[in-house]
Amino acid sequence: MVTRSRRNVPFTSNPLLRVTLPAYRSHLLMGLIAAAFLALAGRAVYLQVFSQDFLQRQGESRYARTLDLPASRGEIHDRNGVVLASSLPARAIFAVPGDVDLSHPRFGDLARRLGLDESDLRQRISGTEKTFVFLRRQLEPDEAKQVLDLKVPGVHSQPEYKRRYPEGDRLAHIVGFTNVEDIGQEGIELAQNKLLAGRSGSRRVIRDRLGRVIEQIEAIREPLNGNDIVLSIDAKVQYHVYAALRDAVAEHRAQAGGAVVLDARTGEVLALVNLPTYDPNQRGELSGAQLRNRVLTDTFEPGSTMKPFIAALALELGKVTPQTVIPTFGGKITISGHTLSDVKGHASMTVEQVIQKSSNVGTVQMALKLAPKDMWETYAAIGLGQAPQLGFPGAVAGRLRPHRNWKQIDQAVMSYGHGLSVSLMQLARAYMVFARDGDLIPVSIFKHEGEIQRSQVFTPETTRTVRRMLELAAGPGGTAPQAQVPGYRVAGKTGTAHKIENGRYVNKYISSFVGFAPASDPRFVVAVMIDEPSAGKHYGGQVAGPLFSRVMGETLRTLRVPPDLPGSGFADASAAVRGRM
């Protein structure tokens, strides 16, 4: 029996286990793995080196916020320091829509405390792609606290300010108001918005997931509060003028009314009132009629209030004297086919009587002695056809046509205040020529400081002569004896003019009176206007005269101006004024 030797054969040499794959495939696999590692390393370098700032900002956006720090708006004061507008701390409620749980059990309570319908609140939050949405603005701090106490996720608050107007509707057309963004919309709030607003600040903070500030990072810019403003208005005088105008509009069942009080020495506006008015603290429903500052924005034909300027110009040019007799033809005159008439006819009148009795025919006779250019230049010199520059929005220029286009009938009717238009502020300023010694100064809504610019219109002698005529007009034999103020000498003139609608005169009137007192040393100019009186009276002496008397009397008494009538003490005059109220 033959025995064979056994050789040692490795297990891996088994043909079934022999690798027959090509070597390049293993090299390729190793290469891919190495490339993946290089890509990851490159991405890491890109993120940590080149994208560091971007990623840092993205990270901070999850927890860091820039908070606006509102500036406190400046206060508005009257001339005596009475606060007319101020800012009070308030809170704004806002939501981060992505964080709000609309199914929160207190969501309904949230809507009720915000004064909103629950479905509307749900729509406001879910129906937006914004990351920030206001839910309610200018809430009182305690009201905002009640909202936050509900602890609805995603609902937060931030500080802001709410404007307050202590004088309410009495000063609405002067002070105006701001919107929820604290930007002026009307009045001084609009005209002086830049000065009052100041500049908001900002600060970087870290907030937790509930929106609470847990760390202050940096102050980017500190808020700069707005500047305070001092007006020329006297709040006490304003109150009395408002009450007087309100009563007059109600008594005569008028559509509207306006009144303005000027300091004849400085041109400062002491009071400016319009009706209808509004409460700037409650502005839910405002109409254009309420917002209109009629003293500045509405124009009307001034009527007979222009007659004294014609007399003054005729006196200045030596065409007449106070005692010159003017034929008035029984109260009728025909110019270019148009018949002009007086309310009461006289055969002739002196210049003094023409102003005292308010004769259209007598005024036309004086006007036709004048060159149209001279008449136009006088009207322009007293501010007609030019918007008053008193630092207030909306003042209008009125209408004064160039003299080159005047016909004789135009010159005639413009002499007694038709065919041109003015605002009540323009009329009040124009009469400062007679309250002063023939010069005109600017009017201002701000408390006076510094020099006063003057422009001479008439000589002092002419002015004093016309002033005496205006005393007669406001006296017992004139057209407005009801304009008298007990204890004081009063000078002024009535105006009664038809209104124009669609280019035609209609049977509606504007009754006005403008004058000054004490006539011996004028301190105040008062102009009043009643629009469409409908209680049976429409003449300026009947409607506007008594209103002027009350306004002027209250102003003189409030500012303690001594009476200038012989035998009248201050206490007696004050008692008489109160007795007429």
Q: Which residues are catalytic?
A: 304
Q: Which long-range contacts (CB under 8 A, 24 or more apart) does 207-215 make?
A: 207/63, 207/64, 207/65, 208/63, 210/153, 211/96, 211/99, 211/154, 211/156, 213/67
Query: How would you class 454 by CB atoms within 10 Å of its CB: exposed for 0-12, middle for 13-18, buried for 19 or more?
Result: middle
Q: Is 539 helix (H, G, I), strand (E, B) or coil?
A: coil
Distances from the Cα of 334 to the Cα of 298, 302, 413, 532, angstroms = 32, 22, 11, 29
β-bridge partners, 399: 421
Contact status, residue 158 vs residue 59, Cβ threshold 8 Å: no
C-alpha span between 286 and 275 (Å, rounded)? 13
Name residue, tokens 């009640």.
Answer: 146
Q: Which helix (H) or strand (E) holds 47?
A: none
Beta-sheet strands, E only, within 222-376: 229-230, 256-263, 269-275, 325-327, 332-335, 338-341, 348-350
> Is beta strand 256-263 parallel, antiparallel or unpaired with respect to 524-531?
antiparallel
Residue 187 exposure: Cα atoms within 13 Å on the Cβ side:
29
- Name the nearest CA neighbour of 386 among 361, 415, 422, 356: 422
> Would the CA dihedral through 492, 497, 501, 507 be positive or negative?
positive
DSSP code of 383?
A: T
Contact status, residue 171 vs residue 82, Cβ threshold 8 Å: no
Contact status, residue 94 vs residue 132, Cβ threshold 8 Å: yes
Distances from the Cα of 501 to the Cα of 24, 299, 361, 531, 546, angstroms = 102, 13, 26, 13, 28
Beta-sheet strands, E only, within 374-475: 439-440, 455-456
Residue 442: count other Cβ atoms within 10 Å of its Cβ.
Answer: 18
Give the per-residue SS3 of 162-184: EEECCCHHHHHHHHCEECCCCCE
Q: Is 455 helix (H, G, I), strand (E, B) or coil?
A: strand
Q: What is the largest CA-CA distance in the chain?
A: 182
β-bridge partners, 285: none
